[in-house]
Amino acid sequence: MLTAAIKNPGDYSTLIETLRPLRKRLLAPLASIFRDTGRSESERNFATTILADCAADDPERLAELLLAADLKAYVTLFPVAEHQAAKTLPVFQAELAKKATFDWSDPPLEETWTKPNAALAGRIESAGGLVDERFAFCQVMSPGT
């Protein structure tokens, strides 16, 4: 395999030059390899190195890749994004401005479950715990509390 033959990313320069005219068509497949944690580290590093060049003029893609990057990929991609900070910064700001949403699709409560008595719930809560409809949590509670 090509990635096994080329260990040093600095050796990719000739290959990157050769692939540059195809870079727009390579972005999606390379991004797929980049995100695939089942791939070998060398394959993912190879994809990251080529993506750093292929996506250099696509600030949205760079920002998206940085949001999914592990530390090693981040170190490779960040300098590329930093060179066009004025274009990548709004993408990150938009991501930070998003409101987190959730959708609980829990099944209905078991009919056999009973509500804990108020004295027990009070003991748990007075020890800094929490009693809710589906769980109770208390990290520290002495037997006499």
Q: Under DSSP, is residue 105 helix (H, G, I), strand (E, B) or coil?
A: coil
Instruction: Tell me if 80 sits within 8 A of 56, measured CB to CB.
Output: yes
Q: Are 72 and 78 in contact (CB under 8 A)?
A: no
Q: How many CB atoms lie within 10 A of CB 122?
A: 12
**Nearest-CA neighbor of 19 among 2, 44, 40?**
2
Q: What would the pLDDT profile of 9-53 be if each residue is shown by its tens digit? A: 556 778 878 888 888 888 999 999 999 999 999 999 989 998 998
Q: Is the pLDDT of residue 6 over 80?
A: no
Name 48's Cβ contacts closer than 8 Å, sequence gap at least 6: 34, 69, 72, 73, 76, 77
Cβ–Cβ < 8 Å for 126, 145: yes
How far is CA 102 from its chain centroid?
A: 17
For the chain, the domains span 2-97, 110-145
143: pLDDT confidence band, cut at 50, 70 and 90?
Answer: confident
Q: Does the pLDDT of residue 5 top 80, yes or no?
A: no
- Does the predicted TM-score (pTM) go above 0.75? no
Q: What is the pLDDT of residues 64-102, one digit of tens each?
A: 999 999 999 999 999 999 998 999 999 999 999 999 888
